[in-house]
Chain A
Amino acid sequence: MANRETAVRADKPAIEVIGATKVLNGRKIIDRLSFSVERGEIYGFLGPNGAGKTTTIRMMVGLIRMNEGDIRIQGHSIRTDRKRALAEVGAIVENPELYRYLTGRQNLQQYANLCERPIDRQRIDEVIRLVRLEDAIDRKVRTYSLGMRQRLGIAQAILHRPSLLLLDEPTNGLDPAGIRELRDYLRQLAREENMAIVVSSHLLSEIELLCDRVIIIQKGRFVAERTLKEEATTDVLSFEIELAESDENKDRMAQHLESRGFEKVDDSGRWTIPIRKEHVPALIESLVQDRVPLMQARIRTTALEDLFLRLTEEGIR
């Protein structure tokens, strides 16, 4: 344990991306991208499809070389100090790639043998318990469900207690219960093992629930970075109501809603209003008191979704 402490430089961010640039066929697919993530933090990596998320993650683990810039993991450059940098990383790149003809345990043993620091049986058993695969671990991976493979993928990624965990679309193929379980588990890892976790995804609601901070990229470029803490809940949301079709006093209702600042969305009787989250209960109460014939009332988009769409659409224009 002692030499592990010396290998990990506490003052360095878990990962620093510094002006990373990747040129492919004369086109910059990643353009001077920079960000950094501290240990204990869960960082969301967002962008529309084709924005360069997977390319960036591949550069982080040295599967793709960058043309300019650097990526440092615990202070070790992936370009010049690959071995020490990779010793600090656990990752799932795209899918949990596993040897389907081996058992779960044989798979873990494969990855254990590839690590620098020796990993004993005890640690393997511990990780198996952590991802709750005790019952299936001696079966061939071929027989696993996607959720089980995802869990085994995470098990191999954390086997060597990395300080950085990179997960590319980790909720792919998981059912809602599985997603929730993964979320709780990642939080626990960030908190208890003081791991930095970078999660790429296009599922915004997922990222919003999980991450402390997010970065949004588009066409390989930095677009925005936001902290998702309490202040996010005070942001203005889009609140939408839908009226019952059978209402005979449509015009009267329309006037009533307009006077409250609602804006008609379409002819099917839907209306939206920008509102702060904490004002939502009072609004619903007053609508009911005014006998507005509500079919449904809902928060149309999350704050992050709004931000994401606004920023990435601006980028497109």
Chain B
Amino acid sequence: MRRILFPLLRNELTKLFARPRSVMFLVFLAAFAVISGIIAEKTTSVMGAYGLAIRTLDIGRYFVLAFTVVLAAQTIADEFRDGTIKLLLIRPRSRGAIMLSKWGAVVTLLCMSLLLLLLASLAVGVLLLPRGTDGYTLWVVIRVYLYTLPNLLFYVGLSLLVGVLTASVPLSITLVVILNFMGSTFTRLASGYPWSQWLVFRHLDLRGHDPSLLVRGTVDDATVGWLPLTESAAIVVVYLIVCLAVTAYVFGRKEVK
């Protein structure tokens, strides 16, 4: 397994970082953390480094979502546009493994983005907001960052699926944006019905499961399922696996003309 996936993943990462856009995005995230820190330093007196890390994530997660969703769709669309898909598919590698390596590469970049956002805002916070009294701890921050992962992983998988189905980046991003906003509205409307707990949207924001109010923040209680955290997470994983399996199946059957 490692021998098959590792070279493929390395290929995808080479392609991802050979173009300046990925590095530029990481630089942009770091700059965003710095600017957030400067604004916080001017406007509040209670916020500390940990609080800053959570505030930057509140907005930064949408940057990361948008960028990785586009990237996931693009990693497919580009291969079709440039015709390199042919050379990729006439090698003795399973198409499923190629698909998985593409998802893996985008997820690697996603994790790097979150880690950078976390470290940059902590560093800026320590420098600019040394006397924060907002009560956040490092463990709270880490939990909040971890809770955003299922949402991002799922949408990257979904974007890959749309990318394979349509080879269109605009369609992927549109669908993800719509689902992201409509999903929570729909969940709120459907929250009275028992079947709604099987909807993935209900489990994409796991912060609501945390006992600490600092972590829960402004999460709407109505959208939180009554399943425990592990089962909530398991539902996301199942959706994600189905999504990737469908993607791999469609990709495997696709004829390249």
Of A80-88, A126-134, A193-201, which binds chain B?
Answer: A80-88
Q: Give CA–CA (A100, B19) in the complex, Å.
A: 10
Q: Is the CB of B92 within 8 A of A87?
A: yes
* Residues 78 to 96 of chain B near chain A (Cβ within 8 Å): 82-94
Which residues of B lie under 8 Å from residue A62 when comparing CB positions? 89-90
Which residues of B lie under 8 Å from residue A87 when comparing CB positions? 92
Contact of A114 among B82, B83, B86, B93 (CB under 8 A): B93
Q: Is the CB of A99 within 8 A of B82?
A: yes
Q: Is the CB of A97 within 8 A of B8?
A: no
Give chain A nearest CB distance to B89 CB in angstroms: 6
Q: Give CA–CA (A98, B84) in the complex, Å.
A: 6
Give chain B nearest CB distance to A98 CB in angstroms: 7
Q: Is the CB of B256 within 8 A of A113?
A: no
Q: A95-B83, A99-B18, A102-B15 are in contact. Are A114 and B88 (CB under 8 A)?
A: yes
- Number of chain A residues close to chain B: CB under 8 A: 31
Q: Is the CB of A110 within 8 A of B14?
A: yes
CB of B257 closer than 8 Å to a CB of A: yes
Q: Give CA–CA (A41, B3) in the complex, Å.
A: 35
CB of A58 closer than 8 Å to a CB of B: yes
CB of B131 closer than 8 Å to a CB of A: no
Q: Is the CB of A99 within 8 A of B84?
A: yes
Q: Give CA–CA (A116, B92) in the complex, Å.
A: 6
Q: Give CA–CA (A109, B86) in the complex, Å.
A: 16
Q: Give CA–CA (A26, B133) in the complex, Å.
A: 73
Q: Is the CB of A106 within 8 A of B18?
A: yes
CB of B221 closer than 8 Å to a CB of A: no
CB of B7 closer than 8 Å to a CB of A: yes
CB of B11 closer than 8 Å to a CB of A: yes
Which residues of A lie under 8 Å from residue B18 when comparing CB positions? 99, 101-102, 106
* Residues 100 to 138 of chain A near chain B (Cβ within 8 Å): 100-102, 106, 109-111, 113-116
Give chain B nearest CB distance to A23 CB in angstroms: 12
Which residues of B lie under 8 Å from residue A100 when comparing CB positions? 82
Which residues of A lie under 8 Å from residue B85 when comparing CB positions? 97
Q: Is the CB of A91 within 8 A of B8?
A: no
Q: Is the CB of A115 within 8 A of B92?
A: yes
Q: Is the CB of A63 within 8 A of B255?
A: yes
* Residues 145 to 186 of chain A near chain B (Cβ within 8 Å): 156
Q: Is the interface of B mostly helix, strand, loop or mixed?
A: helix
CB of A228 closer than 8 Å to a CB of B: no
Give chain B nearest CB distance to A298 CB in angstroms: 40
Q: Give CA–CA (A95, B87) in the complex, Å.
A: 10
Which residues of B lie under 8 Å from residue A110 when comparing CB positions? 11, 14-15
Give chain A nearest CB distance to B28 CB in angstroms: 20
Q: Please give me the residue from chain B that is nearest to A112 by CB atom.
A: B7
Q: A110-B11, A113-B10 are in contact. Are A156 and B92 (CB under 8 A)?
A: no
Give chain B nearest CB distance to A220 CB in angstroms: 15
Which residues of A lie under 8 Å from residue B8 when comparing CB positions? 113-114
Q: Give CA–CA (A64, B255) in the complex, Å.
A: 5
Q: A111-B91, A115-B91 are in contact. Are A63 and B256 (CB under 8 A)?
A: yes
Which of B14, B91, B257 gathers most chain A CB within 10 Å? B91
Which residues of B lie under 8 Å from residue A37 when comparing CB positions? none
Which residues of B lie under 8 Å from residue A97 when comparing CB positions? 82-87
Chain B: residues with CB nearer than 8 A to chain A? 7-8, 10-11, 14-15, 18-19, 82-94, 255-257
The 9 A-B residue pairs whose C-beta atoms are closest, nearest first, are: A113-B7, A114-B91, A97-B83, A63-B256, A61-B90, A86-B92, A83-B92, A87-B92, A97-B84
What 11 additional pairs, Cβ within 8 angstroms, besides A99-B15, A111-B91? A63-B89, A64-B255, A64-B256, A86-B90, A86-B92, A97-B84, A97-B87, A98-B84, A109-B11, A113-B7, A114-B93
Supply 19 A–B pairs (Cβ within 8 Å), ascending by A.
A63-B256, A64-B257, A83-B93, A87-B92, A93-B86, A95-B83, A97-B85, A99-B84, A102-B18, A106-B18, A110-B14, A110-B15, A113-B10, A114-B7, A114-B8, A114-B88, A114-B91, A114-B93, A156-B87
